[in-house]
Structure 1
Amino acid sequence: MGYVTSLFARKVVAAAGGAIDGAAFLRGAGIDPEGAWDPKAMIPDGLYYGLLERIAAEVDVTDLPLRVGASMRLDEYGALGLAFKAATTLGASYARVERYARLWTSVVEYELRPDPRGTLFILHREGARRLGMRLSNEATLASSVSIARQVSPVPVAPLEVLIRHPAPRSVAAHEDWFGSPVRFDAELDAILFSREMLAQPNILGDVGISRYLADHLERELSEIADEVPLVTRTKEAIAQALSEGAPKMAEIARDLGLSARSFHRRLSEHGMSFQTLTEETRRDLAEGLLRDDRHSLAEIAFLTGFAEQSSFTRAFKRWVGMTPASYRKERVVR
């Protein structure tokens, strides 16, 4: 399981507009609707994909990824957004993303790859290509072009956009927004740029500022490793407490030898929340138990902290896009 910045989820809900109950959708993804838009606050990727899929069940999402991409602003991306601006050329900006995208997400990697026609900016994301992931990939590609348009003195249009999954009913909106051909059912998720486009100097490019921000980003990358022990210990404590119901943060903090305030602060420093970790632990535990048919669905609901099986079923469908029974049927170990 990986993480994505909660900023993406907030942008998706905002782009969907009044057609959905935005606050309810954010709460379902473990995000406080009234909280700050903090790019360092992370949520599990499964919750993010589930959010997209629930929106797709209520509204037409053909052009939603494009609207999400168009809404992205570099000023909202923290130090990495500033580093993208300060890089001297558009190619150097994308090199910053290739190097430091781990600060936004742990489920996507980027690659700049030479191509006979120019340079490919490739999105790599592992896992089953469920609807939520497909929509996320489209939004990510759109975002990558959107932020380029914010730093370039000339109009930014790729030579071609490549998307691995099948096309929607119409691709007109995609080709109009990107300003280039968009090829679905491709071998890659990528944007093809000309060499001349990537060599364009950025409006605010500055060698000194760029070097300073790169040093800052290197420190942020090194700090990510520090979150693992606390997160691991927290998830283990949550898992042990779940059979007695949904655990309380103060009780888990006490088990870890921390005050509730210190516990909350340390998780927040790494973009984590207790609610997010509880959801992820429940999901991980449920998936493991469902792969073994020795436990009934009612028992699994109890072991993952749900008072009723129906509540467990709704939560699990939100997490992975299918019911526990369907998941077990596909993956049970005999």
Structure 2
Amino acid sequence: MKTVSNAYFAAFYQSCLDLGADKAEMQALVPGGEQTLGSSNIRYPAACVVELLNKAESLLTNQAIGMKVGKNLRPSDFLDVGHAITFSKNLRQSIAINIRYQPLTQQFGRSSLRVQDGSAWLHWHISDEPEDCRQITESIIASHTQFGRWLIWEYDKAIQGVYFRHKKPSYAEEYEAFFGCPIYYEQDFDAMVFDEAALSQELPQANEKMLKEVCARLDIAMLKLDAEGALSHRLSQLVEIILPRGEFEINKVADYLGVSERSLRRRLDKEGTTYRKIIAETRQRLCERYMRREDMSLKQIANRLSYSEQSAFTRAFRTWNNLSPSKYAKSQGLNIPRDEPEPEVMEATS
């Protein structure tokens, strides 16, 4: 079952009230009653957010409710995920963090970032039919836009375009007033597009030390969230944490999970995968993340991924992307720092 965090649900609930929805009507849609709001241990079915928006729309005869709720969301509504976004060094890193920890906040769908021809495309992927998820999609795209403006302290920052899968609604002029850019309907995808240069803009509240502390808590929270999920998924999350430390031998990982190595291999086989495959997939995912940070050289990335030699890293990268790491970085517009040249060793002569 897809779920949302308590804080995420509460933010939608409060926003609907702020927009004028009847409190008694809204309270009736809170699973377990209003007293459950604020309990971090409780997650709500994602469908409950849709019910909230539908009810608010009918009560307020306001079909733009999704976008208006999205405009009201702030990073603080996302607790530690919001803190990590705020502490990021630039917009690129904040987007990567949101994508990484998105399941902690909501499980409607996932975001992804694509850079092409000087533009950054922030996509929203959701499997529901366009008209069925119109309000959720509006809230996500609106919150992405508002977050970006809030993070860089440019509240009227223009974007290049917005793309929606759903049909043009009767309240389209409200989109235009908020986004301030061309809007395209009945497209093959949902996305917002903006200037690639904004990705590298430094954020005024960046704090590397606090970011590391918050991300450490989020990594643990992700493991707990997946505790009831497939072992292979839990394992990939664990490997993601321990791989940079070089402690990814299968016997050590089995100890972390409290199972024998034999049992671990057998259970992975039942799920149609292997430990070797999980290592490769995790390395690929981490590599993409590290490259998009733009603060690590290729040699540093190879070391972080626990490759014993740079050549082994390059071979693996080619299998993932059919390009060398440097050519891939260029194709994506990534500015990867150059490796520092190793000092020459002068041999003494007698």
Partner SS for 2:34: coil
Instruction: Note the alpha carbon deviations across 1:287-333, whole angstroms, 9 max, x for none.
Output: xxxxxxxxxxxxxxxxxxxxxxxxxxxxxxxxxxxxxxxxxxxxxxx
State the 1:116 CA deviation: 2.5
CA-based RMSD: 2.4
Residue aligning to 1:300 = none
Could you say if the C-alpha distance between residues 65 and 31 of structure 1 is closer, same or farther in structure 2, counting changes exceeding 3 Å? farther
CA positional deviation for 1:196: 1.1
Q: For the Cα contact (< 8 Å) 1:40–1:104, is it kept in 2?
A: no
Once the two structures are superposed, residues 97-151 of structure 1 have per-residue CA deviations (whole angstroms, 9 ceiling, x without a partner) of 11110111222111111222411111111134454x2101101111112222222
Q: From the superposition, tell whether residues 211 and 87 of structure 1 become closer, same or farther in structure 2 (CA, over 3 Å).
A: same
Does the CA-based 8 Å contact 1:119-1:195 persist in structure 2? yes
Q: Call closer, same or farther: CA 1:130–1:183 in 2, change over 3 Å.
A: closer
What is the match of residue 118 of structure 1?
119
Do the aligned partners of residues 121 and 38 (structure 1) sit closer, same or farther apart at CA in structure 2, a change above 3 Å counting?
A: farther
Q: Tell me: CA distance 1:16–1:36, structure 2 relative to 1, closer, same or farther (3 Å).
A: closer
Aligned position for 1:136: 136
Displaced runs of 4+ in structure 1, greater than 6 A? Answer: none
Q: Which residue of 2 aligns with 1:152?
A: 152
Check whether the contact 2:75–2:147 (CA below 8 A) recurs between aligned residues: yes
The separation in 2 between residues aligned to 1:143 and 1:70, in whole angstroms, is: 5
Quote how far apart the aligned CAs of 1:70 are: 2.1
Structure 2 CA distance for partners of 1:39 and 1:85, relative to 1, 3 Å: farther
Query: Which residue of 2 is the match for residue 239 of structure 1?
Result: none
Looking at structure 1, the residues matched to 195 and 90 of structure 2 have their Cα atoms a distance apart, in angstroms, of: 13
Matched, 1:106 2:120: no
Encode CA deviations 1:39-86: one digit per residue, 9 max, x unaligned. Answer: 664221222222222222232233322321222121221111010001
1:88–1:202 CA contact under 8 A, matched in 2: yes
Q: Does 1:219 align with 2:220?
A: yes
The residue aligned with 2:71 is 70
Corresponding residue number in structure 2 for 1:314: none
Secondary structure of 2:59's counterpart equals coil
Computing the radius of gyration from Cα coordinates, the structure with the larger value is 2
Q: How does 1:218-297 map to 2 (within 5 A)?
A: 218-227=219-228
Matched residues in 2 for 1:39 and 1:108: separation? 21
Which structure 1 residue ranges, 5 or more long, are not aligned? 230-334
Give the C-alpha shift of residue 168 in structure 1: 1.0
Q: Residues 1-334 of structure 1: matches in 2 within 5 Å?
A: 1-17=1-17, 19-30=20-31, 32-37=33-38, 41-131=42-132, 133-155=133-155, 156-227=157-228
2-side partners of 1:88 and 1:19: how far apart? Answer: 37
Question: How far apart in 2 are the matches of 1:46 and 1:209?
Answer: 34
Q: Secondary structure at the match of 1:106?
A: coil
Structure 2 gaps, min length 5: 231-350
Q: Which moved more, 1:154-163 or 1:196-205?
A: 154-163
In 2, Cα distance between equivalents of 1:184 and 1:128: 14
Q: Deviations over 1:252-309 (max 9, x none)?
A: xxxxxxxxxxxxxxxxxxxxxxxxxxxxxxxxxxxxxxxxxxxxxxxxxxxxxxxxxx
- Relative to structure 1, the CA distance from residue 164 to residue 40 in structure 2 (aligned partners, 3 Å threshold; closer, same or farther) is farther
Change (3 A) 1:11 1:78: closer
Aligned CA distance change for structure 1 residues 221 and 112 (closer, same or farther; 3 Å): same
Using the size of structure 2 for normalisation, the TM-score is 0.59
Secondary structure, counterpart of 2:122 in structure 1: strand
Alpha carbons 2:131, 2:166 under 8 Å: kept: no
How many residue pairs get aligned? The number is 228
Give the Å deviation of 1:31.
Answer: 5.2
The AA in structure 2 aligned to 1:3 is T
